Amino acid sequence: MRVFYCTWAILAALAIPGVAQSPTDTGYVIFLRGVPIGQEDISVRSGSEGTTVSSRGNAGPPFNTVSRNVEVRYAADGSPRSFLFDGSINGTEISLRTTFSNGTAATQGTEAGKTLTVTQPVSPRSVVLPSGMFVGFAGLSQRLAKASVGEEFTIYVVPRMEITARVLNITSERMQRGTSLFDVRRYDLSFDDGTGELPIQLTSLPDGDLVRVRIPSQAIDVVRGDVAGATARTEVYSNPGDQPVIIPAPGFNVGATLTFPSASASSAAGSGAGATDRKPAVILVASPDAPDRDTIARGVPALGQLAGALADAGFVAVRYDRRGSGQSGGRAESASLPDYAEDVRTITRWLADRKDIDPKRIAVIGHDTGAWIALLAASRDKRVAATVSLAAPALKGTDFVLEQQQLQLDRMKAPPAEREANIALQRRIDSAVLTGKGWEGIAPELRRRADTLWFHSLLSFDPAKVADAVDSPLLIAHGDIDREIPMAHAGKLANAARKSDPDAVTLSIMRGVNHLLQPASTGDVGEYPALAGKGVSPDVISTVIGWLQRTLPAPRPR
């Protein structure tokens, strides 16, 4: 059975009975690298006879899963009774039913019309893990509410094998939703299939209700719908000079944070008595898939920390919620890269009109695909006096999406057949999005998620052409151990930008820096959990600030 033998089967959900509870139906959003790729609606129902966990939903590449009906039943003592799956994976129709009795799991069903029969021995209280979906994390969350560090669970990956899950650490944290704070617990887990360990982080309320699941090595997050927006985060980051502001934009407002320098920092930057009271300003542009204005990813508020460092150097830093999220209005579903660039231009105009900002010293810094937005805004607005690209992709959108697909499949160690099927499907989807033709045979759920203005603008974007059109001085900085967007992108982008004015482009490769702008050893995504306590690399800060100070020097006193 091809689908359920994937290495990434251990990414799927666990379904186990928890404490008695009333029926609940909760939606969860599935993110890959911060981009929503699917949703799963999960129901947990408990009674005197046991617990039933069920779900339906869909997920785009690399999962390509449509689950019409998934159900796991457990007896009152916690032993599994049955598992049911009806849906498709990679366009292949699959119907499965597994029954458990006397230490045996018997699976029968069909895949693409072919009959399947598999029998395996299982532990009496083994947890059922269906492949490629996340239904059971709600049950696991309830079990973990009573677990302790070091406790182990046996998990049955249908219909392949049993693996072990172990609790490595339990941490109390606080999460913010809007202006409200509430307590949560984070469980650091390890899934071991005998060939290697897979780290997983699960966050729940103290009573066991599931809030979030993270699989760092796969860059996958599963988040409860009501906390999936930018107003909810497990860390609240602030700088001493932070000031919340609302910036008027055409048709809506932009929620933002201004970080002001201290008096001593302002003097060092060349403002104050004897020079000018106007300060230089920097707009920080996060990737559209970033979780919030601080770009808190894997516990690192990269743009929040960079804003503080810029303020210490005498700059006013602006970080903001993208349209349709957090405190910003507008509609994200109808936004495109050019729309996001116009939002940056709106902020630029707003800064230029302020009496405390020097309109001739406004810079824009973009991270990841946020750099595409920064470049596009700079190419269209002469008020942008300097542009910084951090860890940006250099490939045209269609090629970049395929590269990311291939890197993700590499991390998942997907078998060759799975790789070919996923890449072929991605090519078909990309072509259909760009041409409007060829949607035949592609699941309607996948089309609804892909056929958007945003994805069309991403696929058709050519950063090389836009970078060449930027007139302001440009810094292209990249970590040499970035494994999400490899370092080679930096050189390609710099070569493209230098066609018009070679002297205006600076390329800087920062040693020992990963994609999150942290100091790291390998740069691999799997290393991220171990770096959670580290901040932005001092080399990133010195590179960016040093270049800005040279490029935007303070005006001489009159």
Is residue 221 within 8 Å of residue 202, measured between CB atoms? no
Alpha helical stretches, state H, 332-452? 337-352, 370-380, 397-412, 416-435, 444-450
d(CA 87, CA 196): 29
Mean pLDDT score of the chain, rounded to an integer? 84
Q: Which domains does the chain have, with CATH numbers?
A: 3-165 (no CATH), 242-392+463-551 (3.40.50.1820), 398-453 (no CATH)
Range from 77-81, 230-234, 477-481, 551-555 carrying the lowest mean pLDDT = 230-234
d(CA 158, CA 141): 20
Is residue 487 within 8 Å of residue 479, measured between CB atoms? yes
Write out pLDDT tens, residues 98-156.
999 989 999 999 988 889 898 999 998 888 877 667 877 877 787 788 889 999 988 88
pLDDT band at 3 (very low <50, low <70, confident <90, very high): very low
Q: What is the pLDDT of residue 446?
A: 85
Residues in the chain: 558
Locate tokens 């916690």: which residue? 78
Q: What is the pLDDT of residue 17?
A: 27
Locate tokens 């000031």: which residue? 243
Exposure letters 167-194 (e unless 16+ CB within 10 A, then b) = beeeeeeebbeeeeeeebbbbbbebebe
Q: Rg (Cα) of the chain, in Å, rounded? A: 25
pLDDT band at 298 (very low <50, low <70, confident <90, very high): low
Q: What is the token pair recorded at 281?
A: 């300003």
d(CA 433, CA 440): 12
Strand, coil or helix: 509: strand
Write out pLDDT tens, residues 207-241.
888 888 888 777 788 888 877 654 444 445 778 88
Range from 24-33, 150-159, 431-440 carrying the lowest mean pLDDT = 24-33
Q: At residue 68, does pLDDT exceed 80?
A: yes
With 0-12 CB in 10 A as exposed, 13-18 as middle and 19+ as buried, what is 383?
middle
What's the pTM? 0.65
d(CA 549, CA 531): 30
d(CA 233, CA 531): 18
Is residue 132 within 8 Å of residue 160, measured between CB atoms? no
pLDDT band at 198 (very low <50, low <70, confident <90, very high): confident
Percent of the residues in the chain that have a pLDDT greater than 70, as a whole number: 88
Q: What is the pLDDT of residue 92?
A: 85
d(CA 249, CA 339): 12
pLDDT band at 177 (very low <50, low <70, confident <90, very high): low
Range 156-185 average pLDDT: 79
Q: What is the pLDDT of residue 98?
A: 94
Question: Cα–Cα distances in Å, from 33 out to 76, 190, 220, 284, 333?
Answer: 38, 21, 6, 19, 18
Q: What is the pLDDT of residue 558?
A: 61
Residue 506 pairs with which residues in a beta bridge? 475
Q: What is the pLDDT of residue 13?
A: 27
Q: What is the token pair recorded at 376?
A: 């596009």
With a CB cutoff of 8 Å and minimum separation 6, the contacts of 14 are 127, 128, 129, 136, 137, 139, 140, 153, 155, 165
Q: At residue 299, does pLDDT exceed 70?
A: no
d(CA 83, CA 136): 11
Is residue 168 within 8 Å of residue 108, measured between CB atoms? no
pLDDT band at 297 (very low <50, low <70, confident <90, very high): low
Range 456-460 average pLDDT: 95
Q: At residue 504, does pLDDT exceed 60?
A: yes
Strands (E) located in 48-160: 50-59, 65-75, 80-89, 92-101, 104-111, 114-121, 127-129, 152-157
Strand, coil or helix: 183: strand
Closest of 302, 549, 366 to residue 375, by C-alpha = 366
- Cβ neighbours around 410 below 10 Å, total: 11
Is residue 156 within 8 Å of residue 105, measured between CB atoms? yes
pLDDT band at 176 (very low <50, low <70, confident <90, very high): low
d(CA 49, CA 109): 26
pLDDT band at 24 (very low <50, low <70, confident <90, very high): low
The letter for the amino acid at 488 is A
Range from 10-19, 122-131, 214-223, 297-306 carrying the lowest mean pLDDT = 10-19
Write out pLDDT tens, residues 256-291.
889 999 865 555 555 444 345 899 999 999 988 776
Range 436-465 average pLDDT: 91
Residue 222 pairs with which residues in a beta bridge? 30, 213
Range 393-407 average pLDDT: 94
d(CA 548, CA 386): 8
Q: What is the token pair recorded at 410?
A: 């590499």
What is the dihedral sign for C-alpha 496, 497, 501, 504? Answer: negative
pLDDT band at 396 (very low <50, low <70, confident <90, very high): very high
Strand, coil or helix: 352: helix
Q: What is the token pair recorded at 94?
A: 């699959």
Cis peptide before 486 (omega within 30 of 0): no
Is residue 31 within 8 Å of residue 56, measured between CB atoms? no
